[in-house]
Amino acid sequence: MSAMSNESRKRSKKRYVVGHHSKRSKGSRELEVGMQGILITCNMNERKCTAEAFNLLNEYADKIYGPEKLQDNDRSSSEEEEDEDDVDAALKKEVAQLQASRVKQKRRFEALDSGANNVIFIRTQNLEPDKLVHHILSDLHTTKKKKSRVILRMLPVNGTCKAFQEDMEKYLTTFLEPWFKTPNHATYQIAFKARNSSHNKRDEIIKSIAGLVGKLNPKNKVDLTNPELTIIVEVIKAVCCISVVQDYPLYRKYNVQEVVKEDVSKSDGNSAKKDTQMTDQKEKADVVETDREERKGNEEVAINVPAPNKEGGKGQGEGE
């Protein structure tokens, strides 16, 4: 009896260990430094949001880049028969197929855990996420055709780094050059949000980014109403997601629900602004409701940097 009980304990222990390792392997499929992709916010239904995102992204990616081409790793029957009698060739063939299958799994779009509630991350391969998202929003803005129910914002991620000020400064110094380094210059604003992260001080991050932009070219100026470019900085836990986008105000902060609404005149501009603010408040309320324990660590701030002084300021600024 004692031997049987010991054996059953060992079995249960093995099952626990196997389950533990499998859980960790699933958790490894998450947003990490070095990735490119698209952050997509949603309203309480991440599974449906993921399905909508795949449909929308594939629809427009097929138009821009053509249908996704998957590698065909099957070999002809004649080749298989030739290798049948050769053990070494058979082993090499099996290893090659395993390696090819791993490559095949790297699809154009892959859903990963973002590290925050109501936010999914779609990793992209062999395409430019900012151009794809801009093309989608441009078409939605023109056609006014609604193509999603639960997706709220689609924010491209062209670069990622560690979410610490020193790492961000080092990464952004090079990352921002194509848009802001002499002879290039533009009007800009900064949109910053932090989720499940409280170690970054907002004002210091803003001043740091503004200072970098000013050093790249003193002609870069802040425009809070209609900037040519918007620097998007999204921090989730220990990962900082960065992109530089066009038409951010025109496309309602890259909100696919708002961008399909009919354009309003200047006299009705306040009502449109209220609609966008209501959507923002709804998104924030959903995050709090589904993740109350992490509420203290969440920061969602849209930051505008005031214009520097003409004589002494080199892009330095403070948040609202």
Residue type, 156: P
- Residue 241: its H or E element: strand 239-246
pTM of the shown model: 0.71
Residues 6+ apart with CB under 8 A from 95: none
Q: What is the pLDDT along the chain (320 residues), one digit of tens a residue?
A: 555 555 555 555 444 444 444 343 344 589 999 999 999 999 889 999 999 999 999 999 999 999 988 765 444 444 444 545 577 777 777 777 766 655 555 789 999 999 999 999 999 999 999 999 999 999 999 999 999 999 999 999 999 999 999 999 999 999 999 999 999 999 999 999 999 988 888 888 989 999 999 999 999 999 989 999 999 999 999 999 999 999 999 999 999 999 999 876 544 445 445 555 555 655 554 444 444 444 444 444 445 555 555 444 444 443 43
pLDDT of residue 202: 81
Class of the domain covering 37-67+107-297: alpha beta
pLDDT of residue 88: 74
Query: Is the N-terminal amide bond of 227 cis, ω within 30° of 0?
Result: no
What are 113's strand-pairing partners? Answer: 30, 120
pLDDT of residue 99: 67
How far is the C-alpha of 314 from the C-alpha of 253, rounded, in Å?
26
How far is the C-alpha of 171 from the C-alpha of 189, rounded, in Å?
19
**What are the residue boundaries of the structural domains of the chain, listed by start?**
37-67+107-297
pLDDT of residue 281: 58
pLDDT of residue 147: 95
How far is the C-alpha of 96 from the C-alpha of 101, rounded, in Å?
9
